[in-house]
Amino acid sequence: MGEVYRALTRDNSKDWLYRRYYFYLLFGQSTNADYPWDNKFWTDQLEQIIDKILAKSTEYKNTGIRVLKYEKQADSKYKEVKHGRLRWDRESHEKWTIQHQSEIDFREFELWTPIWTRCEKADSPPDIFISINNERDIRNVSTRQFDSFVVLAVATDMNIDCKYEIIELSKKLNSRKTVCHIRKWSKGKRDKDKNWKFPNWIQDTFSNGIYRGKSLHKFDFKDIVFDEQYWEIIYP
């Protein structure tokens, strides 16, 4: 009876299918090799801004991080670097970031507030989610339109305003464009001209396939259509 009662009375607006988010996309164009995963740049320029966003959640202390990066071996093969559990603290930042001119191949960063294990236990997606993808490994450098692709999602039911921090983050990342759309964690609606499509959950948002079914690097960035009836243009 207790399980049935909890199922009937739980707030379905906060479950995996229906919880809604301010869904930000940032297209970073780095200068002077200032990439988000660079240890000094992260520590000096980005960490404090992101910390202000995370601090708006009551789950701040339960933030979890995971990364994907590889280390080149003597036989020219790459081995995944393992760090174990990473938290939002100085020790973890020193582990996951890359020292300048390091041989480490950084690929992806993912942050959950609260950590994914707590989300699974509560059967609810996070208050805040951030992912950072390295776009520098595409084969044809001449067609690369941005260096980093950042997804930042903040649950609308938190009733917080973090637009100032998003703008500051955009400036630090030299974002070619920062846009926002309100969507569910599970799936996003297409825009009226069917340029943008988000069929996957927020944690599975990548630069490939979300715009006209192709990689965003297949287009000249100035030709990408950000319909203002669908996107709110945050920066510039």
0.85 exceeded by the pTM? Answer: yes
Mean pLDDT of successive 10-residue stretches along the chain, which has 236 residues: 44 91 97 91 98 98 97 86 96 95 92 98 98 84 91 98 98 98 96 97 97 96 97 98
Predicted pLDDT of residue 10: 54
Predicted pLDDT of residue 5: 38
End-to-end CA distance of the chain: 54
Predicted pLDDT of residue 1: 42
